[in-house]
Structure 1
């Protein structure tokens, strides 16, 4: 339950509170819905439209797929505790296999979505640029992996 709650809290923070922004600095805001860079002439952040992003070599379908993957993981995380409670109450042995499959799917789509997004935007992001939203998604990924190991029966003290 701790891993699920932590994952959900971190994902809510990253995707709702931080609005999906992985970089949120005074001179740069880059996320699943924003791509803003400092404009020297205007003296402010300028948010670019999709046409400009495509001219810069950023794939619109790639960004959309990344966004869908990451936000789908959030939806799975919201409903996951309800499913776990159902399996515990009914004591269905097949249900535990489905729980592991759901954890695997969540882990894959979160890492896949984040990876696709970073691949598209790596030219404009330095590792030191990442802010809380990115760190929260990394924390979510870590908790998902630990939860998967726990559900698969591997004692975490062996790690």
Structure 2
């Protein structure tokens, strides 16, 4: 009843979406947990969602600044907290996205896919917004050449989230005939 090419294409897109979801989750885990949210991690400068440390020439060491010091530099405390909240919320949302993709594939209803798309879209928007807000507030102390692996991982996670959003309509359009998980697990 299913054409082999339809089943294979739908299965490939389904598994691709799951791999993209896992990839974005692990990139966020690396950036926010392993790198502790630092987007710059150099011996003379460490700037991240929880750290703002600059080299102090007189003391000869890295000195971490407090919120009041950042406010004196013109960095808004509320924007930093909001950026942190946005980015770390994405980590939580991305931990649920593989389950939402599986559920949407299993249920194969418009509503299930809409929930998945809303979570993916919200994740992509929060990550872009939080990272953009953080970079805007800290741009006086950041040079592009100083961005480290934590930033690259966040950018990679953003890319994978966007790829999931683009893959979903293709997956749904190619999956107009109900195709259950069991047929993808055995038929691909």
For this structure pair, what is the TM-score category when the shorter chain's length is used for normalisation? Answer: over 0.9
In angstroms, what is the RMSD of aligned CA positions? 1.1
Aligned to 1:13: 30
Aligned to 1:24: 41
Aligned to 1:49: 66
1:4-153 aligned within 5 A: 4-153=21-170
Q: Structure 2: where are the runs of 5+ without partners?
A: 1-17, 172-188
Aligned to 2:14: none
Q: Residue 88 of structure 2 aligns to a residue in which SS?
A: helix
How far did 1:88 drift? 2.5
TM-score (norm 2): 0.79
Contact between 1:15 and 1:71, CA under 8 Å: does it hold in 2? yes
How far did 1:100 drift? 1.1
How far did 1:86 drift? 2.4
Question: In the TM superposition, what whole-angstrom CA distance separates every residue of 1:71-108 from its partner, at most 9, and x where no partner exists?
Answer: 00010001111222222333333101111111111110
TM-score (norm 1): 0.93
How far did 1:152 drift? 2.1
The number of equivalent residue pairs is: 154
Q: Structure 1: where are the runs of 5+ without partners?
A: 155-159
Separation in 2, partners of 1:137, 1:64: 17
Separation in 1, partners of 2:19, 2:114: 20
Question: In the TM superposition, what whole-angstrom CA distance separates every residue of 1:48-83 from its partner, at most 9, and x where no partner exists?
Answer: 011101111011100000000000001000111122
Separation in 1, partners of 2:58, 2:111: 61
Aligned to 2:184: none
**Bigger CA radius of gyration:** 2
